[in-house]
Amino acid sequence: MAERLQKVIAEAGIASRRKAEKMIVAGRVKVDGHVITKLGTKVETFSNITVDDEPIERESLHTYLFYKPRGVVSTVEDDRGRKTVVDYFEDIPYRLYPVGRLDYDTSGLLLMTNDGKLANLLMHPRNEVAKVYVAKIKGVLTSDEIKTLTQGVKLERFKAAPAKVKVLKTDHKKNTQIVQITIHEGHYHQVKRMFKAVGHLVDKLAREKYAFLTLDSLTSGQYRELSKHEVDKLMQMD
Q: pLDDT at position 126, please?
A: 86
Q: Does the annotation count 103 as an active-site position?
A: yes
Residues 88 and 146 in one domain: no
Is the domain of 120 the same as that of 141? no
Query: In this structure, are 34 and 136 located in the same domain?
Result: no
Q: What is the mean pLDDT of the chain?
A: 93
For residue 147, the domain's CATH number is 3.30.70.1560
Q: Bridge partners of 204?
A: 136
Instruction: Assess whether 35 and 144 both reside in one domain.
Output: no
Report whether pLDDT(45) > 80: no
Domain ranges, residue 112? 63-126+213-235
Asked if 17 and 73 sit in the same domain, the reply is: no
114-117: long-range contacts, CB 8 A cutoff, minimum separation 24: 114/1, 114/45, 114/59, 114/61, 114/62, 114/63, 115/1, 115/45, 115/46, 115/61, 115/62, 115/63, 115/231, 116/1, 116/2, 116/44, 116/45, 116/46, 117/44, 117/45, 117/46, 117/235
Contact 67, 80 (CB under 8 A): no
Cα 155 to the center of its chain, rounded Å: 22
- Could you tell me if 84 and 112 lie in one domain? yes
Pairing of β 202-210 and β 107-113: parallel
Beta bridge partners of 133: 181, 207
Task: For residue range 176-220, list pLDDT tens digits in order.
Answer: 999 999 999 988 899 999 999 999 999 999 999 999 999 998 999
Residue with the larger pLDDT of the pair 160 and 58: 160
Residues 118 and 149 occupy one common structural domain:
no
pLDDT at 1: 60
- 22/121 same-domain check: no
What is the C-alpha separation between 39 and 42, in angstroms, rounded?
Answer: 9
In the chain, % of residues over pLDDT 70 = 99
Looking at 103, 171, 203, 238, which residue is catalytic?
103
Q: How many domains does the chain have?
A: 3
pLDDT for 8 equals 87
pLDDT at 35 > cutoff 80 = yes
Bigger pLDDT: 91 vs 120 = 91
Residues 6+ apart with CB under 8 A from 83: 71, 72, 73
Number of H helices, E strands in the chain: 6, 15
